[in-house]
Amino acid sequence: MSKPVNVMPMDAYNARLVEAVHPPTWVNPKPTGVYDMLVIGAGTAGLVTAIACRGFGKRVALIERHLMGGDCLNVGCVPSKALIRAARAAAEVRDAEKLGVKISGYAVDFPAVMERMRKLRAEIAPHDGAKRFASLGIDVFLGDAKFEGPDSVSVGGTTLEFHKACIATGGRPAAPDMPGLASAGYLTNETIFTLTELPARLAVIGAGPIGCEMAQAFARFGSQVTLITTDHGVLPHEEPAASAIVRASLHRDGVTIHEGGRHARIETHGPTKRIVLGSNVIDVDAILLAAGRRPNVEGLGLERAGVDYDPRGVKVDDHLRTTNRRIFAAGDICFPYKFTHAADACARIVTRNAMLPWLPFAAKASKLVMPWCTYTDPEVARVGRSALELTEAGVDIETVTIEMGEVDRAMLDEQTKGVLIVHVKRRSGRILGATLVSAHAGETIGELTAAMTHGLTLQSLSKVIHPYPTQAEAIKRAGDAYFRILLLRWRDRLTHLFSGKSVK
């Protein structure tokens, strides 16, 4: 029998969740031989690796110590996007009058918002559940996994042997060394979705994607939200123009932003948590910590398996193979991009390289073209390198910028606060990076990702017919704009040629 797992609040929906992803009555199977692939961790990377290897007809074991589905299902993408959808509905009602729709008043029922989230999560859970994977012929083990040697793992007192293995144990929230934080107590992405009452005053420490998404959502629910950033500001890894738009949007929704969070300290005064930030004193009822992640490498016995690791996670080569050639790693435990879709992509590389080693060319992580999206309003989607990264690398680039205020559909939708920035290699027009800030950026960035994946030029996208009116027309406009740049350049060259002047 597996160890009991509690997910708070333990209502009917969370009971259904647990029944799917960590069944209380689950009995681990008896191993019947050496596994072709043994996977530790049943988050996205582990689940995809297990099911893909099983698809090759291989004998597969999957081990999970907590909840199958990992962060994405339980404490990440699924619950957060359910909350963001409800927060967007509240903002749409709030702003409806500028569209000519008058609403006398509205109220956010926060307990109902959270109940809806739990309901939807429970409905999605069986897809990642133990019974489904067992039905596919995968041996599912619930318990703590520990390497006993270079080709064996113990779980629940049973030793499993393997030909190949994949470490996909993911990560967890990191806590900064902030005086008074531990004693004051705080929420993380692993606990904020257990709330049943809306905090009247909420501080969010960290202005990366999770911090910005939750700060905006809770402000729209009615919390008085303070976002505390480092000296680098809001979404510091994005293009400055994108960060500025998100900062303005947070301010519009009532979020107060304070920088210099590295120097903060926390005091506790009864139920009140006081954040002292220089001359600023901020009293709150709850603190959400969103200040980075750390890998789950402890307790795995990696030393016995001959697998090297450091504070950033398990060390892998470009084929996602660890220092033990039998063992691979995938997802947050080893990959710099901490996204569900990145974990999925890693799992496909591991499956290809582990199951088909005889093919002439191994799959490489460095060949991935990785998009990502921060689901604020507006959304910020990015693929490839930023202007700063390209300039520091010495790449000669040209940049095309399209303001969403120039796009008809964005104007009609009252969603003009946004921008498309595309960086291309000078002269060739090959796309090297793009940032899109728009209401549906996450849905739209795929076109640019596909273009980069297949080596298309920006000017070639001017030939792609987009339905009118759509906000995705911004991409066609960018293609047209760069095509005009090339035409003018060719015209000038011809002019110089026929005038007898040399052309550089």
Q: Structure tokens of 288?
A: 């959400």
**What is Dmax (Cα atoms) for the chain?**
87
pLDDT for the residue 5: 86
CB 370 within 8 A of CB 335: no
Pairing of strands 327-329, 158-167: parallel
Pairing of strands 224-228, 201-205: parallel
pLDDT for the residue 105: 87
pLDDT for the residue 489: 85
User: Among 112, 118, 116, 110, which Cα is nearest to 15's?
Assistant: 118
CB 190 within 8 A of CB 293: no
Q: Which secondary structure element, helix H or strand E, spans residue 78, and what is its range?
A: helix 77-94
Query: Over pLDDT 70: what percentage of the chain?
Result: 99
The whole-angstrom separation of Cα 275 and Cα 282 is 5
pLDDT values of the chain reduced to their tens digit, one per residue, 504 residues: 667 788 999 999 999 999 999 999 999 999 989 999 999 999 999 999 999 999 999 999 999 999 999 999 999 999 999 999 999 999 999 999 999 999 988 999 999 999 999 999 999 999 999 999 999 999 999 999 999 999 999 999 999 999 999 999 999 999 989 999 999 999 999 999 999 999 999 999 999 999 999 999 999 999 999 999 987 899 999 999 999 999 999 999 999 999 988 889 999 999 999 999 989 999 999 999 999 899 999 999 999 999 999 999 999 999 999 999 999 999 999 999 999 999 999 999 999 999 999 888 899 999 999 999 999 999 999 999 999 999 999 999 999 999 999 999 999 999 999 999 999 999 899 999 999 999 999 999 999 999 999 999 999 999 999 999 999 999 999 999 999 999 988 887 788 778 765 544
pLDDT for the residue 493: 77
pLDDT for the residue 456: 96
Beta-ladder partners of 272: 269
Q: Please compute, for residue 26, the number of CA atoms within 13 A of its CA located in the half-sphere on the CB side.
A: 31
Beta-ladder partners of 258: 228
Spatial neighbors of 388 by CB under 8 A, at least 6 apart, are none
pLDDT for the residue 494: 81
Spatial neighbors of 67 by CB under 8 A, at least 6 apart, are 5, 7, 17, 18, 21, 22, 73, 74
The whole-angstrom separation of Cα 321 and Cα 336 is 15
Length reported for the chain: 504
**Which class for 274: exposed (0-12), middle (13-18), buried (19 or more C-beta within 10 A)?**
middle
pLDDT for the residue 32: 83
Tokens 């009140």, residue? 272
Phi/psi at 437 (5° precision): -115, 110
What single string gives the DSSP state of each residue in 292-344?
Answer: -EEE--TTS-HHHHT--EETTEE---TTSB-SSTTEEE-GGGT-S---HHHHH
Residue 264's SS3 state is coil
Spatial neighbors of 424 by CB under 8 A, at least 6 apart, are 397, 398, 399, 400, 430, 431, 432, 457, 458, 482
The whole-angstrom separation of Cα 30 and Cα 156 is 11
Q: How far is CA 255 from CA 21, 208, 429, in A?
A: 36, 15, 40
Spatial neighbors of 257 by CB under 8 A, at least 6 apart, are 207, 226, 227, 228, 229, 234, 247, 250, 251
Could you report the per-residue pLDDT of 342-381, keeping only the tens digit for each?
999 999 999 999 999 988 889 999 999 999 999 999 999 9
The whole-angstrom separation of Cα 367 and Cα 504 is 34
pLDDT for the residue 232: 84
Q: How far is CA 455 from CA 263, 424, 429, 458, in A?
A: 45, 11, 10, 10
pLDDT for the residue 503: 47
Could you report the per-residue pLDDT of 86-112, keeping only the tens digit for each?
999 999 999 999 999 999 889 999 999
pLDDT for the residue 216: 98
